[in-house]
Structure 1
Amino acid sequence: MQFSSCMSLVLLILTTHLFIPSLAEQCNPYDKNTLLQIKKELGNPTKLSSWNPTTDCCDNWYGVSCDYNTWLYRVIHLGLDNLDLPQPVQIPPSVTNLPFLLCLSLDNNPNLVGTILPTIANLTNLEYFFLSHTSISGEIPNTLSKNKRLIDLDFSNSKLTGPLPATLPSLPVISGIIFDGNKLTGTIPESYGSFPNSFTVLSLSHNRLSGKIPASLAKLNLLFVELEGNMLEGDASVFFGSKKSTFKILLGNNSFSFDIGKVGLSEDLRALDLSNNKIYGSLPESLIKLKYLHELNVSNNNLCGQIPQGGKMKRFDKSSYANNKCLCGSPLQGCKA
């Protein structure tokens, strides 16, 4: 699971700009000087060769777009993805000097090192912040809770450590967090049950999280739940419910233990992975009513009883059910009378 980068937003704005006549340089001189400083702090990467001080930063500078809807022409999107940085550098400190920035993306820069700047909190207009596939390390700063307009955070596949920030639910319009593929530790905070109604994506897979799932998370109506590959335990039934709109629940490779036969299933469910846990009970008959189910893996648990027959269930082979206590029925051996 990954949010779109700033680049798609940049392309949309640049396309719109084609129909706006250019009479003079539109780039705000303060923003232009800041961008040139950012280029210097990144080691002058070749991909930023279009950032020429003699040209307009609002006109075809790589990854840059400006607000053309007002006379200000301030930089609002900065998509510095895939820069092929020649040597390790940190997040440019000068990036926090772009006060109108809505979207900041630094994806796919393995030579981007250091920590997430606490001064990102100074970007009070920031809505989208993407840092996936980098070498950024250290803790996720609690100061992000000061960016009250944040909608999406994607810090996946980096080297982040430490606990999940308990203050993130205070963000009033946050829609999701994607922190997969890091080295985050500790428990999922109790406060995560207090995310706003806009929150639909909880993606924390392949970290080192432990402990039980807070019961407060039952209040969330999530579209995507991805927690596989951690050390979590106990009852994860809080993510299920027939009245929820959940598309995907991935809980594999943890130590969850609960009765799967007692949970309700979202009619929108497309993917369910419960493999390699300690889940027990019988599979719910409501599985056969799911119109969109295309991924199912309940292998290596303590499940018993007959596998529901019909609907989309016929598409799954033995590997979806292997190594359970006493599951039976097609595609496994028949149930004893």
Structure 2
Amino acid sequence: MTKTLCQFVDEDDKEFVTFPSIYNHLIHWFQHKCEMSQLPFFILLLISLPLQVIPQNHQTADERTILLKLKQQLGNPPSLQSWNSTSSPCDWPEIFCTRNSVTKISLRSKNIIQKIPATICDLKNLTTLDLGDNFIPGEFPRQLYNCTKLQVLDLSLNYFMGPIPDDINRISGLRYIDLGANNFSGDIPPAIGRLSELQVLCLYQNEFNGTFPVEIGNLSNLQILGLAYNGKFVPAQIPVEFGKLKNLKTLWFTEANLTGEIPDSFNNLSSLEILDLSRNHLEGKIPSGVFTLKNLTKLFLYSNRLSGEIPETVETLNLVEIDLSMNNLTGSVPEDFGKLQNLQWLSLYSNQLSGEIPSSIGLIPNLKAFRLSHNNLSGVLPPELGLHSKLELVSAEVGRPVKDKRLKEAKGGGDGRFYDMEMGSNSSVESSKEEMPFKDNKELSVKSERYWEDNEGVFNESKMRNDKVFCLAAKGHGMKSRSSKYKLSWILRRRLLRLSTWVQLWDLISMIRK
């Protein structure tokens, strides 16, 4: 039986109590008409639905006006040609809407040269603002304090300068902030540690000439911390407080003028997946707890002053890459490394390691690179090395110096390919009498280590393999080297060519930014 309008109003008028007064008048009018006739339910819908859309259309029009004003204040960049008065802003490529209201703006790589207008915060539902990879000048835009719902802020790869404000915590809802590759200077303010919702903090590649605050250790929700390539930091130790970051997945601290020892509190970073403290001045032993972090996949401690033995007990069974090269490590190569079935890269060169190379390393099924040259090793390379994995690079000074550099055909190659065997300089290491039985017929280069100068500093080959531009690469964005202000070395740019390495990290950030 068709429901009548009178029945609908009598039973459900409670649904209309929040409507504007015009709707209440309509309801009373229909109730009066019901005394005369029974109108079908759909008549009410036909009349009321268009009226309900009016507030949404009005909101969309208001936001379009704001955005067109914003476009004008940004100098009407050609990249925003789609912004016009005849279409809905929700249809513009750079705009994302939720329930017909603007919530996200992405103006990345739009060649913007103007400062950020305060108008942008007139968009009251704005949660995400991405202005990365532009030419925006000036100090940190305090006008963004008025964006009360802002959660994601990306100002990376611009020309911002001066200090980060002491009251930056006024953008209290921030979950993600990337200020990397700018010219910010001074100290990183303690106020950063009061952004209690923060999950991603990226401040890499700036001109900070002060300190970073221990208050960062209070960010209990933090998952990614990127402070790398800030070589002008005042020399400082890693705060013990950082060991409280129980949710931290990535710690990127390359070339940040770190001194002292790696805190034992790092043993508590149970969620840690990537630890990069490379190219600093760290001393002392590697904390044994580092090799008990169950989720750790990448460990980069190369180019420091670490000493002592590598911990013998290795329980980090998910490790994919280990680079402890260019330190002062002594003792033997741990037998437990052979348990790392996911290991692809093992680099221990330029240390003071001694003893024989464990045969178990030759059984690692995924090993692609094995670098142990410039140590005091003895014995022979494990005979299984290359049999069980697609080995591509070996540098272990595998035998006594030979009279000439000769090409040796790999055992079982069968395809006429040759392997370049360039012997190293460990005179106490004896080579196996037989050719190395490499499983794959790929070209294998067995070389002594090399590192050389590029136009911006020392380059070592081991750095080419990693996309350790965590905050940038994880978001899948390229990096332009249009100005020396970035001081981005050739190495850093090369890393961006292999973004697939960081798919998992990108998934994490994508989840956070939704």
TM range (shorter): 0.7 to 0.9
Contact 2:375 2:426 survives alignment (8 Å):
no
The 1-side partners of 2:279 and 2:137 are apart by 29
Equivalent runs, 1:28-39 vs 2, <5 Å: none
Q: CA deviation at 1:53?
A: 4.4
- Structure number with greater CO (CA < 8 Å, separation at least 6) is 1
- Pair 51,286 (structure 1): closer, same or farther in 2 beyond 3 Å: farther
Q: Distance in 1 between matches of 2:348 and 2:138?
A: 40
C-alpha spacing 1:96/1:250, structure 2 compared with 1 (3 Å)? same
Aligned equivalent of 2:195: 98
In the comparison of the two structures, how many residue pairs are matched?
288
Corresponding residue of 2:372: 274
Question: What's the secondary structure of 1:214's corresponding residue?
Answer: coil
Are residue 116 (structure 1) and residue 251 (structure 2) matched? no
1:46 aligns with 2:143: no
* Alpha carbons 2:220, 2:246 under 8 Å: kept: yes
* Superposition pairs of residues 1-337 of structure 1, within 5 angstroms: 18-20=96-98, 21-22=101-102, 24-26=123-125, 46=137, 52-53=143-144, 56=147, 58=150, 62-63=154-155, 74-85=173-184, 88-109=185-206, 111-135=207-231, 136=233, 137-195=235-293, 197-216=294-313, 218-221=314-317, 222-238=319-335, 240-241=337-338, 244-260=341-357, 262-264=359-361, 265-299=363-397, 309-310=411-412, 316-319=419-422, 321-325=424-428, 326-327=430-431
Counterpart amino acid of 1:174? L
Cα gap change, 1:281 to 1:152, in 2 (>3 Å): same
Q: Secondary structure at the match of 2:386?
A: helix
The structural deviation recorded for 1:266 is 1.4
Report the CA distance shift for 1:151/1:142 in structure 2 as closer, same or farther (over 3 A): same
User: Deviation at 1:254?
Assistant: 0.2
Once the two structures are superposed, residues 115-136 of structure 1 have per-residue CA deviations (whole angstroms, 9 ceiling, x without a partner) of: 3311112211111101110023
Distance in 2, Cα, partners of 1:234 & 1:287: 22
Counterpart Cα distance in 1 of 2:338 and 2:261: 28
Once the two structures are TM-superposed, the CA of residue 284 in structure 1 deviates from its matched residue by: 1.6
SS at match of 1:167: helix
Matched position secondary structure for 1:22: strand
Q: Which digits, 9 at most, give the CA deviation of each residue in 1:133-180, with x for residues without a partner?
A: 002330001111112111110101121000011111212211121000
Whether contact under 8 Å (2:227, 2:254) holds in the other structure is yes
Residues 47 and 83, structure 1, Cα contact 8 Å, conserved in 2: no
Cα distance in 1 between the residues matched to 2:151 and 2:297: 36
Change (3 A) 1:46 1:248: same
Taking the aligned partners of 1:269 and 1:117, their CA distance within structure 2 comes to 39
Q: Which runs of 5+ in 1 are unaligned?
A: 1-14, 29-44, 65-71, 332-337
Deviations 1:223-256 (A, max 9, x none): 1111000000101224521562101100000011
Counterpart Cα distance in 1 of 2:177 and 2:424:
46
**C-alpha displacement of 1:25:** 1.4
Query: Matched residues in 1 for 2:352 and 2:409: separation?
Result: 22
Whichever residue aligns with residue 147 of structure 1, its letter is L
SS in structure 1 at match of 2:264:
coil
| Distance in 2 (alpha carbons) for counterparts of 1:98 and 1:163 | 28
**1: CA distance, partners of 2:137 / 2:262:** 36
| In 2: Cα distance, 1:185 partner to 1:101 partner | 31
Look up the match of 2:26.
Answer: none
CA drift at 1:19: 3.6
Aligned equivalents of 2:412, 2:370: Cα separation in 1: 17
Structure 2-normalised TM-score?
0.50
CA shift for structure 1 position 307: 11
Checking the alignment, whether the CA contact within 8 Å between 1:162 and 1:185 is kept in structure 2 is: yes
CA RMSD in angstroms comes to 3.5
Deviation for aligned residue 1:324 = 3.6
Q: CA deviation at 1:278?
A: 1.1
Residues 96, 102 of structure 2: 8 Å contact kept: no
Aligned partners of 2:267 and 2:287 also within 8 Å: no
List structure 1 runs of 4+ shifted beyond 3 angstroms: 47-64, 300-304, 306-312, 320-326, 328-331
Determine if contact 2:201/2:226 at 8 Å carries over to the other structure. Answer: yes
Shift of 1:84: 2.2
Q: Give unpaired runs (5+ residues) of structure 2.
A: 1-92, 104-122, 128-135, 157-170, 403-407, 437-514
CA deviation after TM superposition for structure 1 residue 261, in Å? 5.2
Give the structure with higher Rg (CA): 2
CA distance in 2, matches of 1:49, 1:120: 20
Q: Distance in 2 between matches of 1:253 and 1:54?
A: 50
What letter matches 1:298 in structure 2?
A
Q: Secondary structure at the match of 1:287?
A: coil
Structure with the largest fraction of helix:
2
